[in-house]
Structure 1
Amino acid sequence: MHRAVRTASLALVAASALTLSACGGSGGKDVGADAKQTLTVWAMGTEGEKLGDVAKEYEKAHPNVTVKVTPVGWDVAHQKLVAAAAAGKLPDVTQMGSSYLGEFADMGALEPVDTKAFKQGSFFSSAWDQGVYDGKAYGVPWYIDTRVLFYRTDLAKKAGIDGAPATMADLQKAAEAYHDKAGSKWGLSIQPSGLDTVQSFYPFLYSSGGAILDDDGKPVVNSPAAVKALEDYGSYYAKGLSDKVFRPGYDVTKDFNTGAVPMFFSGPWMVGLLNDNYPDLKGKWAVTAVPADKSSVSMAGGSSLAISADSSHKAAAKDFVGYLTGAEGQADWYKRTKDLPANTQAWETGELAGDADMKVFRKQMESAKALPAQPKLTEITSKVDEAIGSVTQGKSSAKAALDKAQSAIQSLVG
């Protein structure tokens, strides 16, 4: 795959990037890590809100460097990044979601990672893989995300369920038992349609041995394993075990609390939400690994930190990224945000080492899978969203829906 030059479509937004130029690197010769300088950093969502405090701590130990953190909302992040890249004005350091990195690496907008300074073996392999494009690393893993199964243990006893579902067959039997015997309105909450439905589908897809893209980036979404996974996913709707109505902004914790939804897949942030918002549920729920089909495999998500190819502060940027992604910095970041560390050493001591729920997430990360970075990854996954929606709404068979997605995705990959 050849890395493209910045395209005409980017040039169309270059004018808007001028408003961001004060936030970007100035290009030219690197000034060196010891020089007095201002390092510009963009971070998204909650991370953008929290990173400023960490930057102040970094500045105390590096008085020559001023770190200017600009929080950016995820809803406008892609637009701002594209505009800045078109003008050669990306900030020195940028938080990159896994769906973005391939696009910006393909533009030539990101500096390749110094793999002598940042060792692949220090991080979960699926976290590192999210920063690799065309065989070269462009992002250093910052934090990770994966999904496991949350389930009501008290209602399981009422439903006659003995232990956590270990297989996908067990999962559907449990959903039926919760619904029929424990009085739950639904058996399992999974997203039926809409944007990013694919994230709800990944545990079924990956555990079946299926994938959207193979390791070489070629589409394989209509493989027999993937079709089987989507048939399984769709059966929850056909049997009335999952709600086929898509509800934007749906808060599953409310229905989990009442028992209307006894099981759902989600990430580590849900542990804190349940503990804080529903303390009376303590001892009535648990987390467990994704039930296995061929194996137990969940999605790998999270964010990387990337350095702009146009930055004139690359040495200082590399040092700051090292501060954030080292074991000590990662442990501190977890305390501040509850984002799970991508650096495996950060799990060895302290709060994470003794947390039983977080151990489930760590074990899941060992087998978690990430999509290969692609310039059009968001468009690719949207085709799978459409396929899933057509099946859950009873408009298409799994095979026909995924054949259609396969054809559309083939036109999007290089």
Structure 2
Amino acid sequence: MHKRILPVVALGAAATLGLAACAGDGAATGGAVDGEGQELTVWIMKGTNPDATAFYDEVSSAFEDETGATVKIEEIQWADAHDRFVTSIAGGTTPDIAETGTTWTAEFADAGALEPLDEYVDAEDGLRDDLVEGLAVAGTYDEELYGMPWYAGVRSIVYRTDVFEELGLEAPKTWDDIVTAGEAIKAAKPDMLPFPVAGDAEFQVYPWVWGAGGEVATLDGETWTSELDSDESQAGIEFYTGLATEHGFSSAGATTWKETDLRDSFTQGNVAMMLSGSWTPKALIEANPELEGKIGAAVIPGEDGGIAPSVLGGSHLSVFNTTENADLAWEFVKLMTTGEFAEQWADETGYFPGVQSAMEEALASTDPLVAPFAQQMVEGGASVPVTPNFGAVQAKKTTNSMIQAILGGQKDVATATKDAAVEMTELLNK
């Protein structure tokens, strides 16, 4: 059976994932578990929430009131986290619970380190249908849920509203609109890059592949095939790289840019349009208060309109199978990822919650720097191929190398995409 891997978020439709409930060693409970005298160890990534100490105190207190158990929360650096997880899995010293990035959950599940969560999710009334689908898909491996959706962010178009207003432009709704706006900006403001193409930013590429009807990779049985060289994918990549090579909206220096370089240049007033995450507008304004009121956001359009899918990034909370009380661990996961604490974490971090019920405020927002991202997440959030081997693709920088070869003139689109597809297919099937 040919399985298409492009899970666009549809809130309230997570039941269509067909995840099989699987009985575990402990009984799932709809209420609190007696954890008197027990302590859970939790690893959370440092930096996502700069005000985390007060939050941790509140959630720990609430958890102890509810279960009688205490919790030890340890913050670890993203840069060190993967190696630390691998070492702890090998040594059997994993925490009870940990934040796992969406591209790591499948890897750790494949290593046999995680507890399946379907039994617990399905025991909570309505929770399965409340999960954000893109996060649930990313947390699913071999038809079992190992990562409970916690928070997410998505990339959309961020642009200079003052420049658009000055030139009588509107936020782009098609690819042609992007070109039209870019040409006007290029003519009126030659010192500003209309839409730079960052060559070392993988997640900037895939919206154009999907927006043209292409795929990154598909699964048929147990075999992955990259489709970066399909006609549709090539059309999307041709358009994206053409913003630089054909229209001159970028610069030679941007060939090696990461997303952080894009944001820095935008903050300095040198960029008119870019793809950026829902978590960045606040940081951009904090870095340069003069940008207050001059930044807008818009969904990434498909080629002829609508919304192009964008990579849904974020984190899960996972329970490791070294825990002595999986039921108690689930109670903490549930407390963190649903209800008031899910909403509080989202408010403090600038990300979106992983459940629909906690996203109601964002979905109803009229804030021009919130509403477009919320719409992008709901109607156009997608996942990269869910396989432990996708990390090898990222480590090899298959997609980035493809884009840089096109931008640098070493390869045309047809050759670069074919070479990348061959390499990606090989890596995904190792």
Report the TM-score range of the alignment, normalised by the length of the smaller protein.
Answer: 0.7 to 0.9
Identity rate, percent: 26
2:154–2:376 CA contact under 8 A, matched in 1:
yes
Q: How does 1:14-413 map to 2 (within 5 A)?
A: 33-47=34-48, 50-63=51-64, 64-113=68-117, 114-117=120-123, 119-161=127-169, 163-193=170-200, 197-214=201-218, 217-238=224-245, 239-245=247-253, 246-247=256-257, 250-293=260-303, 295-296=306-307, 297-349=309-361, 353-366=365-378, 367-381=380-394, 382-413=397-428
Note the C-alpha offset of 1:286: 1.0
In structure 1, distance between residues paired with 2:316 and 2:37: 26
Aligned residues: 382
Note the C-alpha offset of 1:320: 0.7
* Helix, strand or coil at the partner of 1:411: helix
In structure 1, distance between residues paired with 2:160 and 2:114: 45
1:51–1:69 CA contact under 8 A, matched in 2:
no
In structure 2, distance between residues paired with 1:311 and 1:318: 11
* Helix, strand or coil at the partner of 2:47: helix
* Residue identity matched to 1:306: S
Give the alignment's TM-score, normalised by structure 2: 0.82
* Helix, strand or coil at the partner of 1:412: helix
* Helix, strand or coil at the partner of 1:156: helix
Give the alignment's TM-score, normalised by structure 1: 0.85
Unpaired stretches in structure 2, ≥5 consecutive residues: 1-24, 28-32
Deviates more, 1:81-90 or 1:54-63: 54-63
Give a deviation string over 1:9-60, Cα, whole Å, max 9, x none.
xxxxxxxxxxxxxxxxxxx999x64232111111113247655433322332
In structure 2, distance between residues paired with 1:99 and 1:262: 31
Unpaired stretches in structure 1, ≥5 consecutive residues: 1-27
Cα distance change, pair 70–257 in 1 and its aligned pair in 2 (3 A) = closer
In structure 2, distance between residues paired with 1:215 and 1:274: 39
* Helix, strand or coil at the partner of 1:283: coil
2:43–2:74 CA contact under 8 A, matched in 1:
yes
Alpha-carbon RMSD across the aligned residues, in angstroms, is: 2.4
Note the C-alpha offset of 1:250: 4.2
Cα distance change, pair 121–190 in 1 and its aligned pair in 2 (3 A) = farther
1:142–1:305 CA contact under 8 A, matched in 2:
yes
* Helix, strand or coil at the partner of 2:121: coil
* Helix, strand or coil at the partner of 2:297: strand
Cα distance change, pair 105–244 in 1 and its aligned pair in 2 (3 A) = farther
